[in-house]
Chains A and B, each alone.
Chain A
């Protein structure tokens, strides 16, 4: 029993540390802007954030121990079974679901929502325990990312794959899909509503523009220093991936307004991405540099999108110029950083 207690104790510690990384949502533009501006009307947005968060939170705590290490430990069969039975209860989501199920049984309501939550939890839990961390199933799916012309092709593909492993993108995707389905059902909405939804979609992953190097890791950053390319080219490859995702997500909504908002997000995001690079964690929300910058980014994004929506696509020109200038300037800063480290 002492062995089991030691393992469960270590497991709980490791799991708690991992769960702390979900706090990254607090520094995310989408979360705090919607919390401030939408308040009660933002319930739909919170449901989306909750659903997106629930999946990675539903992992099996036992996977924190490498399978080879677990197999090597001299545990009795009984102890292994006990560990299997006890470890799910380290995850607080298990307790929440158990409590809600008790409450549901007594009140007889909300069974649908509970079922949805429990279903997502079960899927996340089973997937995480069936597929070892080393297998990285997501990465094999990203192999199909298309090729692009030019020498920066592989860098753009890599940047797209990095974006595909952040929760921001899936939040934006859910929003975009919901709005697209709504539009497809031909329900009447004022044209301005599409502008608002477009801004929300871009806002959902705008924090990523502030931490463009967050998922490159130490190895990736030292490779950037070794490659004989200009700083602006490295940033341009990042921007290309960001803009491509924006265009795809806002295509059924207001694509020009979306592109303008994305260009502004990038123009303002380069500074913190280059000067204060922050490491990000996969399958979590991106964390922005500061609330003030996040608000500024959101306001200017909304202004640019509105200007394009109401005055015409030519407003994209100054947006593109601002983004290009920022790419060039912070590309130089990037090179200076490489030289002085």
Chain B
């Protein structure tokens, strides 16, 4: 469902993503892990057509993302890094806009919007402008927009960060149910416990290159330990001035 070959993106001299090759099958939940600045968001932007690759190929739902961008957009739902919200639209208006733009009938749009607002606990803030929403509300709005057109593939950039535990659980349940019905999900996250609970495929990236790609069950050790070993080990520096009494 998602396929990329030798995907590379350079920003001047800096290579953010370097020769990335990856396949994600239909109905899979693929977690894309890596430290800040490893190239996760850049990869996700290239997979969704938000950013043109310097070289390489991307196919989503069998369509070339560069050649047929509009057809690809109709097939996918995206939660982008910057959430992609308009300051001058309310939470509900964002959902109504999405439904109508993706060709849903007015009644169907209203019905889905109402359901999503209810499920994601956004009902109380439905008339709040995006600019006035908390970060969590904004993220939930963008997540609801991604689900609204019932896409074949979902791309989610850090969907669980800044989300309360109950909504996080609801979101995980929604994603798992969607995957069981054939929805393909590609997401980035730093919350390893969430990744462990839902991901069927694990891909780790470091300095723009894939360092691990396997089904979740084939990890040789715990995800956290494996991540520390392969991607980045924690380095703690002592701050002598931290703690009481003050020096």
Please report A residues at the B interface, Cβ cutoff 8 Å: 134-136, 139-140, 142-143, 150-155, 157-158, 161-162, 165, 215-220, 222-223, 225-230, 335, 338-341
Q: How far is the CA of A149 from the CA of B103 in the complex (A)?
A: 14
Establish whether residues A225 and B49, one from each chain, have CB atoms under 8 Å apart when the complex forms: yes
Q: Does B23 contact A (CB under 8 A)?
A: no
Residues of B within 8 A of A218 (CB): 82
Residues of B within 8 A of A222 (CB): 50, 80, 82, 84
- Sample (30) of A-B pairs whose CB atoms are under 8 Å apart: A143-B127, A151-B100, A151-B103, A152-B101, A154-B93, A154-B100, A158-B86, A158-B88, A158-B89, A165-B88, A215-B88, A219-B82, A219-B84, A219-B86, A220-B84, A222-B80, A222-B84, A223-B80, A223-B84, A223-B85, A225-B49, A226-B48, A226-B73, A226-B84, A228-B70, A228-B74, A228-B101, A228-B102, A339-B49, A341-B52
Establish whether residues A226 and B93, one from each chain, have CB atoms under 8 Å apart when the complex forms: no
Q: Does B162 contact A (CB under 8 A)?
A: no
- Sorted nearest first, the 5 A-B pairs with minimum C-beta distance are A154-B97, A223-B84, A228-B73, A161-B88, A151-B100
Q: Mark B25-62, 1 if CB is under 8 A from A, else 0.
A: 00000000000000000000000111110000000000
**In whole Å, how far is A169's beta carbon from the nearest beta carbon of chain B?**
14
Establish whether residues A226 and B50, one from each chain, have CB atoms under 8 Å apart when the complex forms: yes
Q: Does B190 contact A (CB under 8 A)?
A: no
Establish whether residues B101 and A219, one from each chain, have CB atoms under 8 Å apart when the complex forms: no
Establish whether residues A226 and B80, one from each chain, have CB atoms under 8 Å apart when the complex forms: yes
Complex: chain B residue closest to A162, CB-CB: B88
Residues of A within 8 A of B90 (CB): 143
Establish whether residues B87 and A217, one from each chain, have CB atoms under 8 Å apart when the complex forms: yes
**In whole Å, how far is B162's beta carbon from the nearest beta carbon of chain A?**
15
Q: Does B170 contact A (CB under 8 A)?
A: no
Q: Does B171 contact A (CB under 8 A)?
A: no
Question: In B102-128, which residues have CB < 8 Å from any A CB?
Answer: 102-103, 127
Establish whether residues A139 and B80, one from each chain, have CB atoms under 8 Å apart when the complex forms: no
Q: How far is the CA of A151 from the CA of B102 in the complex (A)?
A: 9
Q: Does B66 contact A (CB under 8 A)?
A: yes
Known A153-B100, A155-B97, A219-B83; judge A340-B52 contact (CB<8 A): yes
Complex: chain A residue closest to B97, CB-CB: A154
Complex: chain A residue closest to B132, CB-CB: A136
Q: Does B96 contact A (CB under 8 A)?
A: yes
Q: How far is the CA of A158 from the CA of B83 in the complex (A)?
A: 17
Establish whether residues A216 and B73, one from each chain, have CB atoms under 8 Å apart when the complex forms: no
Complex: chain A residue closest to B74, CB-CB: A228
Q: How far is the CA of A229 from the CA of B97 in the complex (A)?
A: 12
Complex: chain B residue closest to A136, CB-CB: B132
Q: How far is the CA of A215 from the CA of B207 in the complex (A)?
A: 34
**In whole Å, how far is B63's beta carbon from the nearest beta carbon of chain A?**
12
Q: Does B129 contact A (CB under 8 A)?
A: yes
Q: How far is the CA of A223 from the CA of B78 in the complex (A)?
A: 9
Q: Does B69 contact A (CB under 8 A)?
A: yes
Q: Does B230 contact A (CB under 8 A)?
A: no
Q: How far is the CA of A225 from the CA of B44 in the complex (A)?
A: 14
Complex: chain A residue closest to B94, CB-CB: A154
Establish whether residues A229 and B84, one from each chain, have CB atoms under 8 Å apart when the complex forms: no
**In whole Å, how far is B74's beta carbon from the nearest beta carbon of chain A?**
5
**In whole Å, how far is B50's beta carbon from the nearest beta carbon of chain A?**
5
Q: Does B192 contact A (CB under 8 A)?
A: no
User: Which one of B101, B130, B131 contacts A151 once the chains associate, using CB atoms below 8 Å?
Assistant: B101
**In whole Å, how far is A237's beta carbon from the nearest beta carbon of chain B?**
10
Complex: chain B residue closest to A225, CB-CB: B50
**In whole Å, how far is B155's beta carbon from the nearest beta carbon of chain A?**
10
Complex: chain A residue closest to B85, CB-CB: A219
Q: How far is the CA of A338 from the CA of B70 in the complex (A)?
A: 11
Complex: chain B residue closest to A340, CB-CB: B52
Complex: chain A residue closest to B87, CB-CB: A217
Residues of A within 8 A of B86 (CB): 158, 216-217, 219-220, 223
Residues of A within 8 A of B129 (CB): 136, 139-140
Establish whether residues A139 and B50, one from each chain, have CB atoms under 8 Å apart when the complex forms: no
User: Which one of B69, B85, B101, B102 contacts A339 once the chains associate, using CB atoms below 8 Å?
Assistant: B69
Establish whether residues B73 and A142, one from each chain, have CB atoms under 8 Å apart when the complex forms: no
